[in-house]
A and B are shown apart, each in its own frame.
Chain A
Amino acid sequence: MNPIAYFRAADAAEALAHASGGARFIAGGTNLLDLMKEFVMRPAALIDINNLSLAEIAPLAGGGLRLGATARNADTAYHPLVRESYPLLTAAILAGASPQIRNMASNGGNLLQRTRCHYFYDIGTPCNKRLPGSGCSAVGGLTRQHAILGGSPQCIATHPSDMCVALAALGAIVHARSAAGERQIAFADFHRLPDDRPEQDTTLASGELITHIELPPASQFAAHSAYLKIRDRASYAFALVSVAAMLDIGDDGVVREARLALGGVAHKPWRLPAAEALLVGHPADAAHFAAAADALLVGAQGQGENNFKIPLARRAVVRALEQAVAGTHDNTRSERDRAD
């Protein structure tokens, strides 16, 4: 057995009171338990937050939706309000993992899941994210899954979530609570680039607890959104490249607002408002889509084995935007949605 202390907290105050000295919160545990079995993460204690009444999915007073931190990914994806107003989020969640994992995985945990870089998982190899200062085995190694944007010499891992790519495009707000009080973190600021501290995936402080995720109103995009995921298998595989695209198109066919986020390409969901601005005020056509894709990929750098991701991402952006123009597709009926 791995020696471990386990504490089931009754409320947030109790959970926070125990959140020190190498303890980790646990909800679904779908990623954390794997990492513990592999000795990649070795928390001294687990604080179970499933009894914290954080599972609610409910409309917010000023519009928008509150997604509880311990609400399950599957319950979120199939929730009527999510399907109606945020079909992009439904599509992204259902593109990830397997039904079994989505039934267990929590929303807060999805944000905090760790990279699936092979070297991070293999404790026989150096990895700056796992053991700071030990070196990066991915640089010069097998990099098919690795970053083309925002990497550093210390780390070229990617964030594996599909859900987070949609949340980035939706401009979600993460609500967190700690002993010091409550605060809100804009989604763009929640995950961070590796720089010289790749062990730090997010800006969440140690002992800080995600209580819920706030989705701002997005009904203007509901008719024109698409989540396109390109992967090695049609199901149960992480994205090589994924694209969340949302368009608000006026009756005159001119784009009023656009959102674009890329998954599988960086240490965080990749979003550049400047690239989105290139679409606004223009017809929703291939030339403008290509320009936006180019802008989004400025500075992209392959690692050799993953050089293909740069043209792949460029084409995927254009295709996702074309799909969004054609209309939002309901993918709740089939796990294996080809989205073509």
Chain B
Amino acid sequence: MTELIEALRTPVADQGTGAVTIGMPVSRVDGRDKVTGQARYAAEHTADGLLYGVVVSGTIPRGRIAAIHADAALAVAGVVEVITHLNRPRIRSFDIFYKDMTAPGGSPFRPLYDDKIAYSGQPVALVVAETFEAARYAARLVEVDYEVEPHATSLTENRERSYKPSRMKAGFTPPPDPKGHADEVWEKAAVRVEGEYYSGVEHHNPLEMFASTVIRSDDGHLTIYDKTQSSQNSRWYVSHVFGLGKDKVTVRNPYVGGAFGSGLRPQYQLPLAVMAALQLKRSVRVVLTRQQMFTFGHRPETLQRVKLAAEPDGTLSAIIHEAVAETSRMEDYVEVVVNWSGELYACEHVRLGYHLVDLDHASPMDMRAPGAAHGVYALEVAMDELSYTLKMDPLALRLKNYAEMDPSRGLPYSTKELRACYEQGAARFGWDQRSLEPGSMREGRELIGWGMATGIWDAMQMFARASAVLHADGSLVVSSAATDIGTGTYTAMSIIAADAMGLPLEQVRFQLGDSTLPVAPIEGGSSHVATVGSAVQGVCEKLQKKLFKLAKKLPSSPLAKARFADIEFSGGFVRISSQPGVAVSIIDIIAGSGEQRLEEKYLMLPNMLKQMKY
């Protein structure tokens, strides 16, 4: 079963926090460790004889490395090695080994694999030294000769090359087939708007820099502290790229200083640090610079065209939404940009399109509501423009076209409280005070405006495992290889477990951030609590039943004749709900059972049949 891993230094609530229930405001269990600097991030773990790697970034957008001059760098005192594609340790060649769990279709970028330059800022060498300062200085002295090839990095200049993505990605749904005759309706419509919406590249750039500290044991085992949204994804990637068995590599990420999606895929500092550790048989840390944080995944540059048509009363008659987005030459990164336009409003005629243009960039990747952040923006700006063309209040236009069922599937939404949101927002904001005419409101000499927009996002649930160990002193450890990127996973899971077991919060630890823990999905898509939280709930329910059975078996048990449905867990006791005084303490149950501790594990599988109803 899953023991408490000391090195993770799993946080726990302060003494005296007491009983909690889901929804209750509670101080973060990791808050004190974070604000006092006790929480250690990927670059803050150390080891005897740790080496420091600094990445040399390429300076051309496309071409080949003709020569790398490393003599000056190697001559710097303390420099151990300059690793390039020419002297790196063996790594595997097939694409399949570089595909992490969230890789889109195509050939993933392979750092230091060969002399090919695929994008500007690509890593071309790793300088490894006994000190960080020596490595950083020496990295500046590495000179690279290039054969430069023509490149294309502008979406607007290359939009004519757009194509329908052929290679797919897990979780991606291509736009549905057209519904009705949107183009004909739009052409003939009395009221119509048309707009083009451009959104540039956005980089995640979380506060914590990407870093990997690879700690090598004498037996060759690698324990890697990595900045990632999934320790198990990074473990999987390292095992595959380097041909290392699952038992040879452990990846940990107990603290992650923000990620916003950039940690959904392993970044290049991870394989580079592993290369150095394998080649030099030493522990190695590689930290990217803030500038290098711009040299991997990003939200793709996207061009959108939206056409809306309406009846004079505001009834939407046609929606046409097409997007052209940037991807790399290596992979077809895809995200759901236009589908929302078929899901948000009731409309008979809908045509949606999504195309890619491959450019000499690093592959884009998911970033904060990928696709929706700019896709729904385009639709909503067009809705605003339509409202002004109609001379109709923008909120009234949304309500006029309010969809009770998802129009793209003809199914109910899993949850939709949008009408109540509109009403509360309008009331709190004083929407009825708003002047309808655009450009009519000023504050001092500045034009201001009041606006509104609607948001939509999928409710997702993956599968996850959790284990629970209830100790003789009544303390509980629940474990899953989940991640807390600052979103509060530690706290949320601790609360779920404490609430279920009726234990004070300070008696519960939720252990996450280690690839050897029970399987958890990558933290992303706003699905982690729904997924891991359900696994925690599930394992606690199994533990409740085990405790109840043991309680009934106690000599002259007051619960002997009770049914499970009659009892509750609170204050460290198992009680009859209707007679809270009739109770047995959890500590007494374990003591009476003859066991040192009670253990359970649980596999949470989403109910696919139920999911298909929405």
Contacts and interface: CB of A to CB of B under 8 A. Distances in A.
Given A340-B444, A340-B446, A125 B137 contact: no
A338 B131 CA distance: 46
B134 A1 contact: yes
Interface in A300-340: 338, 340
14 contacts: A1-B131, A1-B133, A1-B134, A1-B137, A2-B137, A3-B137, A39-B140, A124-B57, A124-B59, A125-B59, A338-B444, A340-B444, A340-B445, A340-B446
A338 B446 CA distance: 10
A37 to B, nearest CB: 8
Interface in B41-91: 57, 59
Contacts of B446: 340
Interface of B: 57, 59, 131, 133-134, 137, 140, 444-446
B47 to A, nearest CB: 22
Interface residues of A, number: 8
B141 to A, nearest CB: 9
A3 B59 CA distance: 24
A45 B140 CA distance: 18
A2 B134 CA distance: 8
B190 to A, nearest CB: 37
A1 B134 CA distance: 5
Contacts, number: 14
Contacts of A125: 59
Q: Which of the listed residues A1, A124, A125, A338 has the most CB atoms from chain B within 10 Å of its own CB?
A: A1
Q: Which of the listed residues B57, B131, B137 has the most CB atoms from chain A within 10 Å of its own CB?
A: B137
Contacts of A2: 137
Contacts of A124: 57, 59
A3 B57 CA distance: 22
List the 8 closest A-B pairs by CB distance, nearest first. A124-B59, A1-B133, A340-B444, A39-B140, A340-B445, A2-B137, A1-B137, A1-B134
Interface of chain B: mostly helix, strand, loop or mixed = mixed
Nearest to B138: A1
Contacts of B137: 1-3
Contacts of B134: 1
A125 B59 CA distance: 8
Contacts of A39: 140
Given A3-B137, A340-B445, 12 more contacts: A1-B131, A1-B133, A1-B134, A1-B137, A2-B137, A39-B140, A124-B57, A124-B59, A125-B59, A338-B444, A340-B444, A340-B446
Interface string A90-127: 00000000000000000000000000000000001100
Nearest to B140: A39
A3 B72 CA distance: 14
Interface string A238-264: 000000000000000000000000000
Nearest to A42: B140
A229 to B, nearest CB: 15
A288 B304 CA distance: 45
A13 to B, nearest CB: 33
Nearest to A121: B291
A199 B114 CA distance: 38
Interface in A255-281: none
Nearest to B59: A124
Q: Which of the listed residues B134, B140, B444, B446 has the most CB atoms from chain A within 10 Å of its own CB?
A: B140
Interface string A1-17: 11100000000000000
Contacts of A1: 131, 133-134, 137
Contacts of A340: 444-446
Contacts of B57: 124
Nearest to B443: A340
A2 B131 CA distance: 12
Nearest to B58: A124
A338 B445 CA distance: 11
Nearest to B444: A340
Contacts of B140: 39
A2 B133 CA distance: 8
A262 B341 CA distance: 47
A254 B445 CA distance: 26
A125 B140 CA distance: 14
Nearest to B78: A1
A270 to B, nearest CB: 24
A152 B131 CA distance: 43
Nearest to A1: B133
Nearest to A322: B445
A211 B36 CA distance: 44
A1 B445 CA distance: 51
